[in-house]
A = this chain, B = another copy of it.
Amino acid sequence: MKRDITDRDHALFEAGIKLGALYHQFVGTPLNLETLEGLEKTIEKSISLQPYLRKINVSINRDMVRDKLGRSGYCELEGKMLEVHAEIVYGSARAKVGLRYDKELDYPLMYIEEISKMG
| Residues of A bordering B, CB below 8 Å | 1, 4-5, 8-10, 12-25, 27-32, 34-35, 38-39, 41-42, 45-47, 49-51, 70-74, 76, 78-79, 95, 97, 105-107, 110, 112-115
Contact = CB atoms under 8 A, between A and B. Distances in A.
A20 to B, nearest CB: 3
Q: How many copies make up the complex?
A: 4
Contact of A71 (B16, B41, B49, B105): B105
A29 B14 CA distance: 17
Which of A1, A8, A17: most chain B CB closer than 10 A?
Answer: A17
A46 B36 CA distance: 9
Given A20-B17, A72-B51, A112 B31 contact: no
